[in-house]
Structure formats: C-alpha cells, structure tokens
Structure 1
Amino acid sequence: MGLRAPDASGAYPTDQTIATSPPPTAQQPPNNTTTTATNPQLPPAAIDLAGKLFDLAREGNTAALTQYLDAGIPPNLTNHKGDTLLMLAAYHGHAATTRILLEKGADPNVLNDRGQSIIAGAVFKGYDDVVAVLFEGVDGRPPRADIRLGQPNAVDCASMFGHEKYLELFGVEGTGPRPWENASGTT
C-alpha cells in the first residue's frame, strides 16, 4: 500500500506507505536504492505534502519541486503505484524537471509496480528531450537510464512504435519486421 488519491472530501488517507531513499553511507552512494517505510499514523499534512510533490512533478513545476528537494525531500519518493517523481515528470514530458531530478540524485532505473521503466515511458510518449536526458544523463554523466530494463523496455517500445530515431540514439539496429507488418514492411 502507498500514497492514494484524496477521498471525496479532499483528504488523503493516513494508513499509507511512502518510499524514500535511505541516508547515504560510506558503503552506499546517495539515492541509489529505495526503502519503503510504513507508518499507519502518518500525519495528514505529510500525505498532503506528498500528493503536492507528485503533482509538481506531473505538472513540470521545476522551481517549486527544486525548493522541496533542496529542503531535503528524497528525490526517489514513490507513490502507491511505485511511480517516482522522476517517472511522473518524464512521462508527462517535462525535460527540465527530469534533468533537475537527475541532478538531485533521482535514480532513472527504478521500475514501478507494473515493471515499467522511466525511459520506456518517455519513448512510448515520444518525448525526444526527455529520452535524451534520461539516456545521456546530466552533462553526459551517470546515472543514465538502462534501455534494457522493464517490460517492455525502451528498445522494445522504440521498435514496436517505429521510433527509429530512438533506436539510432541507443545505438541499436532495427529488430526486423514488426509483428503487425507483412513481409514487405507494410501493414
């Protein structure tokens, strides 16, 4: 169980699970894993704040989200579906927000509860700038999104939807005829 949408009155349920990144240790780089903490007594204000953070990511409100991240909100916060702030920003086409989340330590290789990867979602939606940021990393530095993670993964999505530009970006050759095409390559 995780964060849920507000009920009809606009209040968020308080028997929630919020996933956060553990504090960094000498053996573990910061923000590379997600830990789930359950607190049946989570204050309504905390639930409201988490809902607001997910909305900021969805809306691409980079400035406001950055203030929360700078104040200590974990960049790998996940909702009840396992979607991270980064996944929501990327899936809604917000390249600037995606970049900031990566700069702040968000992990581009977290899968949600349905086994979907962040970069595959961006490929599916056709968001060129977001795909580029996820694949290339920030200023060419890791972390970079793994194109082979998830079901379907980013390569499968690019192939399935005929996004040759992404296959080229990934350095992957086309995978041959698609199941919906006949031998001549037409539908």
Structure 2
Amino acid sequence: MVEQEGTTFDQAEIEALFLDAARDGQSDLVGEFIEAGLSPDIRNDKGYTPLILAAYNGHPETVRLLLEAGATVDLRDAKGATALAGVAFKGDLGIAQLLVSHGAALDAPNNVGRTPLMFAVMFGRTAMARYLLEAGADANGKDGEGLSACDMAAAQGQPELLSLFGVSQ
C-alpha cells in the first residue's frame, strides 16, 4: 500500500496507474514508477505490458525509456501479439525501428500464427511491410490458415504490396 495525500493505493491500483501512464506516453511518470521499483514487464488482464501499450499508442520516448529500463521487447499479450505486431498494424515505422534495434523478433507469430509482416500487409501498411522485409522478416511464413503475407496481399488485390514480394498483378 502506498499513501499519498490521504489516498491509499494498493499494488493493483499502482500497476494500473503505471500502465495508464505508459498508454498515455507520460514518460516522466513512467520513469518514476520504474525508479520506485515497478517492473517494466508488468501485465494487465489482457496481457498488455507498458511497452505494448506505449508502442501501440505511438509514444516513442516512452518506448525508449521502457526498453532502456529493461522491458522485455517480445513479451506477448493474451492473444500472443508482441509490441512489434501492434506497431506493424498501426504502421508506425519509427517505433518499429526502435523495437527492432532492441532485438524484437521480426517473425513472432500471435496465437493464430500471424506475424508483424502479415499485420502490415493485412492493413495495407506498405512502408512497414517494406521495412520488415528489408530487416529480414520471413515473406514465406504461413499463418494458422496456411496463408503467407504474399497470399494475403494477393487476396486483397494490393499491387504495391505484391511488388514487395516480387509478384506483379
């Protein structure tokens, strides 16, 4: 229990405040929670970590702070998604590059076998797909339905994405 100006917070409430600060990109507050001894790898009921929340919500300074504080770059949420999968879906190249520079697995599949590259393709994030491929993502990996990122691009009729895989339409 922590008491502040007559208000008492239990551990679960403190952790929720930490996760909210990460989601909101409040780097100063995130730093204070870490300095106070909170693990940068705590999780909420959906498996979201401060890193996943900060990355998904587009807060590069907070992402950097968490990584430098020892956050595990490839922890997965309850659906098996990593922080990189979330930013691939959103198309945030800067945060993707930051995560990859800290060792994020390019081909980490979620619970249904979808990788960050597949998310980039599914949501038409051409620049992200290009970056992931250039960084070494596996273009031939298959998800739980037996589809590759290239198959997904073809099914969606996305010629620009297909060109990344060397396929013309």
Q: Which range, TM-score by smaller chain?
A: 0.7 to 0.9
Counting only pairs closer than 5 Å after superposition, residues 1-187 of structure 1 correspond to structure 2 as 45-137=10-102, 144-151=103-110, 152-170=114-132, 171=134, 172=137, 175=150, 177-181=153-157
SS at match of 2:31: helix
- Cα distance in 2 for partners of 1:53, 1:128 equals 25
Aligned residues: 139
TM-score by length of 1: 0.66
Compared CA separation, residues 80 and 182, structure 1 to 2 (3 A): closer
Instruction: State the 4+ residue runs in structure 1 displaced beyond 3 angstroms.
Output: 182-185
CA drift at 1:164: 2.8
- Matched residue SS, 2:154: coil
How far apart are residue 160 of structure 1 and its match?
2.1
TM score, norm. by length of structure 2: 0.72
**1:93 Cα deviation from its structure 2 partner:** 0.6
Aligned residues with identical type, % of pairs? 27
**Displacement after TM superposition at 1:44 (Å):** 5.5
In 2, distance between residues paired with 1:88 and 1:52? 13
- Do 2:87 and 2:96's aligned partners in 1 also have CA atoms closer than 8 Å? yes
CA displacement 1:35-87 (0-9 Å, x = unmatched) = xxxxxxxx952121111011101100001111111221111011111111100
**How many angstroms does 1:158 deviate by?**
1.7
Structure showing the higher helix proportion among its residues: 2
Q: Distance in 2 between matches of 1:149 and 1:127?
A: 17
Unaligned runs of 5+ in 2: 1-7, 140-148, 163-169
CA deviation vs aligned residue, 1:4-58 (integer Å, no higher than 9, x gap): xxxxxxxxxxxxxxxxxxxxxxxxxxxxxxxxxxxxxxx9521211110111011
Q: How many Å separate the matches in 2 of 1:114 and 1:182? A: 27
Q: Which moved more, 1:96-105 or 1:161-170?
A: 161-170
Gaps of 5+ in 1: 1-42, 138-143
Alpha-carbon RMSD: 2.7
SS at match of 2:72: coil
Aligned residue identity for 2:41 = N
